């Protein structure tokens, strides 16, 4: 759902007949107050249900055990899964608190394959500690040709150490997701992910393999409105990050809270318990993920499905 659709539905619910038909001189509630309440309820939804999720990729290098966490990650139960990639292989990470991690890693420096991820705060800034410190840095190559911001196949000098499928790279400030790669090309690239912008790049520009990938729950992007009730057209056309079926309930909550200040009788038809509704949404989200897991193939892959040649000695 786009923002302008959500505002239109909220205005319809809170408006009188004169407001809806355009005969009213002034809006019943100013746009800035509607958006303030909408921001509040979307943040509450994200915090309680963990229903707004994203992926964050970065690099884990030798002797760099501290990285900055995603800025919009929730402070509670944010990290759903994390992985480090070493020489083209995925190693899942345990996400643990400081009391678990620091009691197990009392000797520093201690290098190896990173296996534990420790979220911690420094004032308003959140960081992630990697334990043990990764013994290998992210693989870096260079562009073999110039590329445009619209190119979806990217030629590089080498993909040694890159994960073959479902990987991510960074060129300049742009993050890119690729479907698969061979020895010197990245195919099916999705440009400008994670809030970055797709750009043109020249030959020999560095291409860094993102070897640390974190799947996390976050706050939705805050909607900006100015004191004069101005909302830019670009903002109005943005897709809201919450799924449409849950936005319907949030719109009712916003309408109820706004009308309640004006007319108790009119507000009654939209009365809704936001705590109960968000609990139901949380259950829906958990149940949906649970069903997906139950329907998946949960056994380990056979040797013939794992990418290894037949008769490979997997003990080595």
In tens, the pLDDT along 86-106 reads 989 999 998 988 888 888 776
What's the confidence (pLDDT) of residue 279?
85
Q: How far is CA 195 from CA 89, 241, 302, in A?
A: 26, 13, 38
Distance CA 267, CA 256 (A): 5
Are 36 and 137 found together in one domain? no
Classify residue 31 as exposed, middle or buried by CB count within 10 Å of its CB (0-12, 13-18, 19+): middle
Q: Parallel, antiparallel, or unpaired: how do β-strands 94-95 and 116-122 relate?
A: parallel
Are 142 and 273 found together in one domain? no
What's the confidence (pLDDT) of residue 191?
97
Are 281 and 173 found together in one domain? no
What's the confidence (pLDDT) of residue 123?
87
Are 132 and 207 found together in one domain? yes
Listed in sequence order, the DSSP H helices in 233-273 are: 233-236, 244-259, 264-267
Are 34 and 144 found together in one domain? no
Domain boundary among the residues 189, 218, 247 is at: 218
What's the confidence (pLDDT) of residue 260?
83
Q: Parallel, antiparallel, or unpaired: how do β-strands 133-134 and 111-112 relate?
A: parallel
Domain boundary among the residues 201, 218, 235 is at: 218
Does 138 map to a domain? yes
Are 68 and 206 found together in one domain? yes
Domain boundary among the residues 218, 239, 262 is at: 218
Query: How many structural domains compose the chain?
Result: 2
Does 257 map to a domain? yes
Are 242 and 143 found together in one domain? no
What's the confidence (pLDDT) of residue 228?
77
Q: What does residue 244 show for φ and ψ, rounded to 5 degrees?
A: -65, -40
Does 303 map to a domain? no
Does 305 map to a domain? no
Show the low-confidence residues of the chain (pLDDT under 50).
Answer: 25, 292-297, 311-316
Are 260 and 166 found together in one domain? no
Listed in sequence order, the DSSP H helices in 210-243 are: 233-236
Does 280 map to a domain? yes
Residue 240's domain comprises 3-50+222-289
Chain Cα centroid distance, residue 305: 30
Are 43 and 192 found together in one domain? no
What's the confidence (pLDDT) of residue 288?
64
Contacts of 209 (CB under 8 A, 6+ apart): 59, 85, 138, 139, 140, 141, 161, 162, 163, 167, 168, 169
Q: Is residue 268 reached through a cis peptide bond, with omega within 30 degrees of 0 on the bond before it?
A: no
With the C-alpha atoms ordered 184, 187, 192, 193, is the resulting torsion angle positive or negative?
Answer: negative
Are 82 and 162 found together in one domain? yes
Does 298 map to a domain? no
Are 61 and 205 found together in one domain? yes
Radius of gyration for the chain, computed over Cα atoms and rounded to the nearest angstrom: 24
Are 81 and 181 found together in one domain? yes
Does 24 map to a domain? yes
Does 296 map to a domain? no
Q: What does residue 207 show for φ and ψ, rounded to 5 degrees?
A: -120, 115
What's the confidence (pLDDT) of residue 259?
85
With the C-alpha atoms ordered 268, 274, 275, 279, is the resulting torsion angle positive or negative?
Answer: positive
CB atoms within 10 A of CB 264: 10
């Amino acid at each position: 759902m786009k923002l302008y659709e959500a505002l239109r539905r909220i205005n319809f619910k809170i408006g009188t007949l004169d407001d809806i038909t355009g005969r009213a001189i002034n809006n019943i509630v100013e746009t800035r107050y509607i958006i303030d309440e909408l921001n509040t309820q979307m943040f509450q939804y994200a915090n309680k249900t963990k229903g707004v999720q994203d992926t964050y990729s970065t690099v884990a290098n030798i002797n760099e055990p501290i990285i900055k966490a995603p800025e919009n990650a929730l402070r509670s139960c944010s990290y759903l899964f994390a992985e480090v990639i070493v020489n083209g292989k995925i190693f899942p990470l345990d996400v643990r608190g400081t009391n678990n991690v620091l009691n197990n890693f009392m000797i520093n420096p201690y290098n190896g394959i990173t296996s534990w991820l420790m979220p911690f705060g420094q004032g308003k800034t959140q960081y992630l500690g990697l334990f043990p410190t990764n013994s290998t840095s992210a693989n870096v190559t260079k562009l073999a040709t110039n590329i445009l911001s619209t190119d979806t196949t990217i030629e590089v000098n080498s993909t040694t150490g890159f994960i073959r499928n479902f990987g991510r790279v960074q060129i300049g400030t742009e993050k890119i997701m690729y479907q698969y790669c061979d020895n010197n090309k990245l195919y099916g690239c999705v440009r400008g992910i994670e809030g970055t912008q797709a750009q043109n790049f020249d030959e020999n520009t560095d291409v860094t393999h993102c070897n640390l990938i974190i799947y996390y729950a976050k706050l939705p992007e805050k909607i900006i409105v100015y004191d004069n009730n101005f909302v830019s057209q670009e903002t109005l056309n943005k897709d809201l990050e919450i799924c449409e079926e849950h936005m319907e309930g949030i719109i009712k909550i916003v309408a109820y809270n706004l009308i309640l200040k004006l007319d108790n009788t009119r507000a009654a038809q939209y009365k809704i318990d936001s705590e109960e509704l968000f609990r139901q949404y949380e259950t829906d989200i958990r149940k949906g993920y649970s069903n997906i897991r139950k329907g998946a193939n949960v056994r380990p892959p056979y040797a013939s499905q794992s990418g290894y040649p037949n008769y490979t000695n997997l003990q080595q």
